[in-house]
Structure 1
Amino acid sequence: MQHIRRRHLSAAFAAWLLATSPASAESLYIEAGRLIDGVTDEVHIGQCITVDDERIAAVGPCETLPDGARRLDWSAFTVLPGLIDLHTHLADLGQSADLAAPIKASPAETALVGARNARVTLAAGFTSVRDVGTYRGLTDVALRNAIDRGDVPGPRMWVAGAYITIPGGGGELNGVVPNEQLPPDMRLGVASTPEEAAKKASFLLDRGADFIKAIATGAVLAIGTEPGAPELTVDQLRAIVRIAHARGKRVTAHAHGAEGIKNAIRAGVDSIEHASLADEEALQLAKRHGTWLAMDIYNGTWIDDVGTKEGWPAEYLRKNRETTDAQRAAFRRAVELGIKIGYATDAGVYPHGLNARQFRNMVKYGMTPMQAIRSATGHAAEEMGRGDIGAIVPGRYADFIAVKADPLADITVLERIDHVMKGGVLVR
């Protein structure tokens, strides 16, 4: 009897192992009805994509099925590169009325929540994300590594490790306990001087961060800070940039206020998150320096609607109202000026998996549908310095989405993805 039970348990374990192991990519020949490649404004008809292992081997007119390849008929769909979100918080609990929620959850629980967030993000068609910080420092590194090993499903992640912030600044968990009593993993990036800022940047890069996130102004969703107020100084920001760039890594700066934006650009950062209160001088400076803007112009609506219903702190709601319309006006002006803009949502403030809701706002506030799509594909890859994602061209990862309707006629169809492929493996 015990022998039979052991045999059954072994069979069950084998089945579980098979189900949880990462699927292997195969040779595919994908027939696309319409193809948007992510790097041009053309819509290609009658194209087939050859996939070998994880990568795109060829793109061209459909011909004879290559030897050993399996045909995948997506002739009824518009096929696009897998989408990229440049501002997410997968490895975190998500926003709520409970200020203490991040400290109540252990690092292990936070990582498990992150695994769920990663799964729904991938299913929504976002095959790559830049994850720009977590209160539980380095939890994002662990989640990225788990996805890379195939332990959990999720998008390709590039992570910040933690926020580099002044004491009590926009990257701290303020208003819960005295900040010096917070767990050490919640203060990995706190810095008071340029020397400390440089050390924190080196610390995070040494422990697996892919880039650095610096808090240049106060935050909407941080107690006791004001979005318009500069925080990290120009000297601190320069120290961070110097360390990161010397190691071939990029720096993005959380900056709502105009002075903080200008400080960050003058310090040499590669991109600005939010840019809510950017004035004309700040926008012209961004254009002149080639600095990318990552502007989350949907989630102000979510904060106002859901935050009000759920009783989020009045300070949050007030600051959100003061920045939402201003940010959308700055976005429209940035589009007019031809400033480089990447797709960035702040998912985690609103539920993961709803990342595509921002497309409609980008079109409403000045972009064409194709510009919005390219902001989340080829342009987003360019902002991250990645030549392996974001486009349907040979050599890149075989990351695709497919939708039955035409996103150029109705951008909201990207909120309802029919098929997702990551690295040549069909996700849905």
Structure 2
Amino acid sequence: MEDMIDDIGEDNFKSAQVYDSLKDDSEKSLYPGCTRCTRLSAILKLFNIKARNGWTDRSFSELLELLHEMLPEGNMLSTRHYEAKKILCPMGMEYQKIHVCPNDCILYRKEFETLTKCSRCGVSRFKVKDDDVDEDNMKKGPPAKVKSEGLLRHAADSPQWKKIDTHYPQFGSDPRNLRLGLATDGMNPYGPNQLGNDIGVYLTPLIEDLGLLWDEGVKVFDAYGNDNFNLRALLFCTINDFSAYGNLSSYSVKGHYACPICEENTSYHQLKHGRKTCYIGHRKFLRRNHPYRRLKKAFHGYQEDKISPPPLNEEEVYERVCQVNVTFGKILKKPIMKNIWKKNSIFFQLPYWAKLDVKHCIDVMHVEKNVCDSIIGTLLNIKGKTKDDVNSRKDLVEMGLRLELQPQAYGKRTYLPPACHTLSKVEKKSFCACLYEMKVP
């Protein structure tokens, strides 16, 4: 700890007072007579445990209070998370706060740093009391050697990884360079107001940092090799659910052409009674001799002879978005766009992004959860969750499918003939008991 403080040096701190404070904490015993821990080393170890186990700030404060009471009198341990964090801030754990327009128009940085209200929608930068509101503002690294054996066990087995090594051999030659995955799940700074298309406003600082990590890199100490090296990083892909997929990729994942692979060739059917869009024709992605292609009754009454469309390559995707201009923010009236590509994604500012084949990946957890919820809701006939309701049966009749399941009216009551998946009350209890007793990791 002392060697680290000496290596940092007094000149590297903004003021001598910060250096003296850090130096003093590194020499001060945790409590009188303690020879094992200093105030700084104890706080640093506790913060490491907090980070590894994902403790909340509140639980960490409660732990500090308990430890403070258990240690001998006169101990120097902080009792609050905020106080402990202030001790470590001079060591580089500080963060920068950036103001943002509540309507997601701009970030108050660079040319907008000195503004007091948004240059696009006019909303004040600061929170004000109701009686002070201006009327104008009331307008709203893989392992060194990976044996693939034809299987995808690691991201290094993917064609995209190998393509990066081919196009950028200097980057791929050093296994210490990073290939990052970006997850945006839960990124919603204004609560009920979803970011949607305006997420690019909040990603601007990240894109700038990623650009720096790619173009110049940063000096990093390699503890294993005991030397310094220039670390570079590349954004390998994003990982998110399907709605975030649309916000990040700039493709409209709603409506009749919701499939980013098929685009205008998406096979859809508008349900008359359920008033939803269903997507059929998935069998065209199977191999030509797959037995499911010949089945009729189990699907929508037809054999499938179509073949899957070729996916867009990286150049074709960029051609579709490079000319799309969009103004961020929720207040300004935006023209109704018929283009299924909504914007030029901010990720294309990265020099390598246009060359990546697979830019966005679907989070498997979300897919598994949604499918599981639908299956269980249908099997147990949970109201509001089941996919087998009166409108679903009427739509089957409309499409000429499973006519034996047609709903039957008896006065004011409607009877739904049992389907092959319909469970009795005893079977439902047995099914729930099976789920209750299931043991999983």
Give yes or no for TM over 0.5.
Answer: no
Structure ID, larger Rg: 2
TM-score, with length taken from structure 1 = 0.22
- Determine which structure has greater relative contact order: mean sequence separation of CA pairs < 8 Å that are 6+ residues apart, divided by chain length: 1
